[in-house]
């Protein structure tokens, strides 16, 4: 079943193709249980339970968003306070200079803005995007990974990787097709 | 008798509903929705609408050019109505935009899966409506080439903007709103752009979508972080959208002009924004359904029904606001507030007020009839009437109060000029043009969220209805 699309000996991994998200979750669980570590699943929509099945967890984005929010809040409030108290104090009918309730709206907007920008940028940075070339694009049928098919790829980086045994293992998962991914 | 002994069969129960009509699989969803974009021959209506939008867009360019070359005197604004159509239209447009954020963020956080098929074009509407809205205050400054003065930057004058002013809050609120809406929209588009990249045939088209998709491959790890980011953006957009219209209402409520200085303004402005925005979603969504009949399986009659219900609910809040405005006028015992109530009912603009009550208060009550909530022609008429009503609301608030304030010597009458009309109609052309260009370039319905919905339907109702072979799978 395995086919070689390229003459070069370089291999990125072996990929299995599925047509159902639930089978993919099951396959991911079995792959992890079998001891493979460097593998990834590909799906046309977020499949809940897949990250759990792969034991994948990353909490950096929420924390970055949180600290982004704190930064925005401090910047917004601090900047307005600095203007009102230090750089451009204006006496309005003898009222206090530090009129903090009036600084709340801009502080809030600055908090939201910096949180949003941090979240947006860190999503791309942590996912390693934009990435115009990805070896996965060489996988057979992979244009359907954004449409109606589900893939699981065990990569050559995996310490347990062995072409023959991985191919056999993936074929045992109920895949429609198993093929090699040239690097 | 204890409360929990009430016959449970008589209670309304929340039954999970299937929001996809017909028989669909992941394949057909991708084909139909990407097909709307990649179809080399769009329907004739598309050309007509885009062409019309383009012509009217030129009216806007003409109006802006004439205004910039001459000055804001070309508008009908003058003392005592220093703010008129520019702020009326600003508030109207920005309110229309708010439904997009409500649908995409607040309904997402509330796990309302029916939003999945209407959020994309509602978000596009948000962005285009905010563009139209932003134009007005920028032009009203009189010297739009100096608009960067609105932002705090280190300048040679050693001056800073007055951050205690609601108008300055507006600058921050609207620019933040636009930025976050754009990020949210783009983030939601990336997986769908990847679908378009993989489905398109022409190398140039493939290349452009390939660049825009940022190399999205749908990895489970990517999806995990993607959903984190998407939910955080939704979480911050929800309070943001409330803050934006609250701040817009502060433009008035912080002033002491009769009819403006009330605490009801922020909630009633926000409800009015959602009301107008949902009306615009219908005004745009209903023709879209008839131009592209293949999407009727995704924007079903159930969606129309639910949107009509939201219109009714927000309409009631708005109507409550109108009643309270009258009540406040009476309860305050203040001569000027009482005079304003009198002027609304019997003053020079009384017909605007009566039309407003009809459009926003009376007519939407027809939505109580279940058959009408699914009647497409009725909903279209309703959406237009609500759109007009919400415009009248802002007109009633602004020129009516300004032309009848404290001193009779400063009373006046406001009427728009042809340039006010040209700019207003022109922005509508701009909006229509951008929306139809968007339909042709990007998917109008969020494709990956429809697949997600289909997967949830499989889990809820079983595989049976789409002829899927793997129905033996344990869920």
Residues A84 and A34 in one domain: no
Q: Which of A110, A127, A144 is the last residue of a domain?
A: A127
- Whether A1 shows a pLDDT value over 70: the answer reads no
Helix (H) or strand (E) holding B403: none
Q: Is A141 within the bounds of a domain?
A: yes
Q: What is the pLDDT of residues B202-228, one digit of tens each?
A: 899 888 998 998 889 889 899 999 999
Complex-level ipTM beyond the 0.85 threshold: yes
Whether the CB of A79 is below 8 Å from some CB of chain B: the reply is yes
Q: What is the pLDDT of residues B64-115, one digit of tens each?
A: 999 999 988 899 888 888 888 889 999 999 989 888 888 888 888 887 888 8
pLDDT of residue B463: 59
Instruction: Spell out which residues of chain B touch residue A110, defining contact as CB-CB under 8 Å.
Output: 172, 176
Q: Are strands A39-42 and A150-155 parallel, antiparallel or unpaired?
A: antiparallel
- In this prediction, what percent of chain B has a pLDDT beyond 70? 94
pLDDT of residue A9: 59
Q: Which two tokens stand for residue B314?
A: 């927000």
Q: What is the pLDDT of residues B415-463, one digit of tens each?
A: 899 999 999 999 999 999 999 999 889 998 888 988 888 888 887 777 5
Residues A142 and A173 in one domain: yes
- Full residue range of the structural domain in which residue B233 is found: 28-149+166-455
Q: What is the rounded CA–CA span in Å between residue B186 and residue A134?
A: 21
> Could you give the 3-state DSSP secondary structure of residue B212?
helix
Q: What is the rounded CA–CA span in Å between residue B182 and residue B97?
A: 12
pLDDT interval class at B473 (50, 70, 90)? very low
Whether the CB of B160 is below 8 Å from some CB of chain A: the reply is yes
B 395-424 residues with CB below 8 A of A?
Answer: none
Determine the residue among B220, B249, B254, B466 to mutate to test chain A binding: the one whose Cβ has the most chain A Cβ atoms within 10 Å: B220
Q: Which two tokens stand for residue B276?
A: 């107008």
Q: Is A6 within the bounds of a domain?
A: no
Q: Is A1 within the bounds of a domain?
A: no
Closest approach of A81 to chain B, Cα-based (Å): 10
- In this prediction, what percent of chain B has a pLDDT beyond 90? 38
Whether the CB of A84 is below 8 Å from some CB of chain B: the reply is yes
Residues A82 and A122 in one domain: yes
What CATH code is carried by the domain that includes residue B201?
1.20.1630.10
In this prediction, residues B123-140 reach a mean pLDDT of: 92
Q: Could you tell me the pTM of the whole model?
A: 0.89
Residues A141 and A177 in one domain: yes
Whether the CB of B5 is below 8 Å from some CB of chain A: the reply is no
Residues A43 and A83 in one domain: no
Closest approach of A58 to chain B, Cα-based (Å): 7
- Whether B6 shows a pLDDT value over 90: the answer reads no
Q: What is the rounded CA–CA span in Å between residue B236 and residue B218?
A: 25
Helix (H) or strand (E) holding A63: helix A60-82
Contact (CB<8Å) A130/B169: no
- Full residue range of the structural domain in which residue A174 is found: 11-56+135-182
Instruction: Spell out which residues of chain B touch residue A61, defining contact as CB-CB under 8 Å.
Output: 225, 228-229, 232
Which position has the token pair 């598309």? B46
Q: Is B327 within the bounds of a domain?
A: yes
Size of interface A-B (CB pairs under 8 A): 193
Q: Is A68 within the bounds of a domain?
A: yes
The closest alpha carbon to B121, from B315, B287, B235, B318, belongs to B287
pLDDT of residue A170: 84
Q: Is B98 within the bounds of a domain?
A: yes
- Whether B465 shows a pLDDT value over 50: the answer reads no
Residues A112 and A66 in one domain: yes
- In this prediction, what percent of chain A has a pLDDT beyond 70? 95
Residues A120 and A73 in one domain: yes
Instruction: Spell out which residues of chain B touch residue A45, defining contact as CB-CB under 8 Å.
Output: 191, 223, 448-449, 451-452, 455
Residues A153 and A117 in one domain: no
DSSP secondary structure of B102-130: IIIIIHHHTT-GGGGGTHHHHHHHHHHHH
Q: Is B37 within the bounds of a domain?
A: yes
Instruction: Spell out which residues of chain A touch residue B236, defining contact as CB-CB under 8 Å.
Output: 69, 112, 115-116, 119
pLDDT of residue B7: 52
pLDDT of residue B102: 84
Q: Which of A127, A148, A173 is the last residue of a domain?
A: A127
- In this prediction, what percent of chain A has a pLDDT beyond 90? 29
DSSP code for B361: I
Residues A116 and A75 in one domain: yes
pLDDT of residue B467: 40
Q: What is the pLDDT of residues A132-144, one digit of tens each?
A: 888 888 888 888 8
- Whether A93 shows a pLDDT value over 50: the answer reads yes
Domain count, chain A: 2
pLDDT of residue B14: 57
Q: What is the rounded CA–CA span in Å between residue B268 and residue B319?
A: 9
Residues A49 and A76 in one domain: no
Mean pLDDT over each residue of chain A, to the nearest integer: 87
The closest alpha carbon to B406, from B134, B117, B140, B80, belongs to B80
Q: Is A5 within the bounds of a domain?
A: no
In this prediction, residues B12-39 reach a mean pLDDT of: 78
Residues A96 and A118 in one domain: yes
Q: Which two tokens stand for residue A118?
A: 């941090």
Q: What is the pLDDT of residues A55-69, one digit of tens each?
A: 888 899 999 999 999
Whether the CB of B58 is below 8 Å from some CB of chain A: the reply is no
Whether the CB of A61 is below 8 Å from some CB of chain B: the reply is yes
Q: Is B70 within the bounds of a domain?
A: yes
Closest approach of A112 to chain B, Cα-based (Å): 6
pLDDT of residue B390: 92
Residues A122 and A64 in one domain: yes
What torsion, rounded to 10 degrees, do the Cα atoms B268, B274, B277, B278 define? -130
pLDDT interval class at A8 (50, 70, 90)? low
Domain count, chain B: 1
Q: Is B5 within the bounds of a domain?
A: no
CB within 8 A of B311, min separation 6: which ones?
B275, B278, B279, B282, B364, B367, B382, B383, B386
Contact (CB<8Å) A129/B216: yes
- Whether B475 shows a pLDDT value over 50: the answer reads no
With CA atoms as reference, the chain B residue closest to A174 would be B470
With CA atoms as reference, the chain A residue closest to B239 would be A112
- 10 Å Cβ neighbour count for B31? 16
Contact (CB<8Å) A147/B214: no
Which position has the token pair 């009036």? A102
Residue B290 zone, left/alpha/beta (φ > 0; ψ -120 to 50; rest): alpha
With CA atoms as reference, the chain B residue closest to A127 would be B222
Q: Is A3 within the bounds of a domain?
A: no
Contact (CB<8Å) B225/A131: no
Contact yes or no for B194/A146 (Cβ under 8 A): yes
Q: What is the rounded CA–CA span in Å between residue B376 and residue B388?
A: 19
> Could you give the 3-state DSSP secondary structure of residue B71?
coil
Determine the residue among A105, A139, A154 to mutate to test chain B binding: the one whose Cβ has the most chain B Cβ atoms within 10 Å: A105
Distances (CA, A) of B92 to B88, B134, B277: 6, 11, 9
- Whether B13 shows a pLDDT value over 60: the answer reads no
Whether the CB of B220 is below 8 Å from some CB of chain A: the reply is yes
Q: What is the rounded CA–CA span in Å between residue B295 and residue B288?
A: 9
Q: What is the rounded CA–CA span in Å between residue B213 and residue B372?
A: 41
pLDDT of residue A113: 95
In this prediction, residues B286-308 reach a mean pLDDT of: 87
Contact yes or no for A142/B216 (Cβ under 8 A): no
Instruction: Spell out which residues of chain A touch residue B150, defining contact as CB-CB under 8 Å.
Output: none
pLDDT of residue A7: 53
In this prediction, residues B251-256 reach a mean pLDDT of: 88
Q: Is A66 within the bounds of a domain?
A: yes
The closest alpha carbon to B464, from B32, B29, B18, B114, belongs to B18
Q: Is A2 within the bounds of a domain?
A: no
pLDDT of residue A3: 53
């Amino acid at each position: 079943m395995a086919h070689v699309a390229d003459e070069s000996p370089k291999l990125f991994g072996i990929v299995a193709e599925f047509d159902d998200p639930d089978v993919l979750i099951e396959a991911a669980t079995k792959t992890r249980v079998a001891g493979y570590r460097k593998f990834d699943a590909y799906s046309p929509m977020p499949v809940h339970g897949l990250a759990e099945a792969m034991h994948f967890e990353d909490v950096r984005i929420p924390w970055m968003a949180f600290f982004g929010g704190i930064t925005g809040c401090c910047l917004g409030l601090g900047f307005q306070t600095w203007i009102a108290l230090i750089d451009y104090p204006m006496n309005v009918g003898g009222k206090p200079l530090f009129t903090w309730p009036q600084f709340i709206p801009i502080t809030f907007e600055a908090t939201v803005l910096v949180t949003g920008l941090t979240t947006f940028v860190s999503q791309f940075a942590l996912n390693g995007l934009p990435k115009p070339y990805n070896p996965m694009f060489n996988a057979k049928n992979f244009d359907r990974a954004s449409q109606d098919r589900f893939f699981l790829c065990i990569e050559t980086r995996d310490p347990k990787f062995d072409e023959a045994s991985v191919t056999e293992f993936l074929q045992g998962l109920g895949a429609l097709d198993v093929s090699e991914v040239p690097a | 008798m204890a409360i929990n002994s009430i016959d449970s069969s008589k209670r309304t129960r929340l039954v999970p509903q299937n929001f996809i009509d017909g028989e669909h699989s992941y394949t057909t969803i991708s084909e139909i929705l990407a097909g709307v974009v990649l179809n080399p021959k769009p329907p004739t209506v598309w050309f007509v609408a885009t062409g019309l939008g383009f012509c009217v867009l030129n009216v806007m360019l003409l109006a802006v050019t004439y205004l910039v070359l001459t000055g804001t005197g070309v508008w009908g604004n003058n003392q005592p109505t220093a703010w008129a159509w520019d702020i009326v239209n600003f508030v109207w447009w920005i309110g229309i935009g708010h439904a997009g954020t409500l649908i995409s963020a607040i309904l997402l956080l509330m796990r309302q899966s029916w939003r999945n098929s209407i959020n994309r074009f509602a978000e596009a509407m948000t962005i285009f409506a905010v563009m139209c809205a932003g134009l007005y205050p920028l032009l009203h400054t009189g010297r739009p080439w100096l608009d960067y003065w609105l932002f705090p930057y280190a300048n040679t004058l050693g001056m800073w903007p007055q951050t205690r002013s609601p108008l300055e809050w507006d600058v921050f609120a609207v620019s933040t709103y636009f930025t976050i809406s754009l990020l949210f929209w783009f983030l939601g588009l990336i997986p769908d752009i990847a679908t378009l990249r993989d489905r398109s045939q022409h190398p140039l088209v493939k290349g452009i979508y390939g660049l825009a998709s940022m190399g999205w491959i749908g990895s489970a790890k990517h999806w995990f972080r993607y959903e984190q980011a998407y939910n955080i953006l939704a979480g911050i957009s929800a309070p943001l959208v409330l803050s934006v219209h609250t701040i817009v209402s502060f433009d008035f409520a912080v002033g002491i002009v009769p009819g403006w200085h009330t605490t009801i303004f922020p909630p009633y402005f926000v409800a009015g924004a959602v009301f107008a925005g949902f009306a615009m979603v219908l005004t745009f969504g209903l023709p879209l359904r008839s131009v592209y009949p293949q999407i009727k399986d995704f924007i079903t009659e159930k969606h129309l029904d639910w949107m009509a219900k939201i219109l009714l609910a927000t309409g009631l809040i708005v109507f409550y606001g109108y009643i309270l405005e009258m009540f406040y006028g009476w309860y305050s015992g203040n001569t000027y507030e009482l005079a304003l109530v009198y002027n609304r009912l019997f003053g020079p603009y009384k017909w605007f007020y009566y039309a407003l009550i009809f459009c926003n208060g009376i007519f939407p009550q027809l939505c109580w009839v279940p058959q009408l909530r699914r009647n497409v022609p009725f909903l279209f008429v309703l959406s237009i009437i609500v759109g007009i009503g919400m415009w009248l609301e802002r007109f009633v608030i602004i020129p009516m109060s300004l032309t009848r304030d404290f001193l009779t010597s400063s009373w006046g009458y406001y009427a728009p000029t042809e340039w006010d009309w040209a700019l207003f109609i022109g922005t509508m052309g701009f909006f229509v043009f951008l929306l139809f260009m968007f339909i042709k370039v990007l998917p109008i319905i969020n494709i990956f969220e429809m697949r997600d919905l289909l997967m949830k339907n499989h889990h809820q109702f079983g595989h049976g209805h789409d002829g899927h072979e793997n129905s033996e799978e344990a869920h």
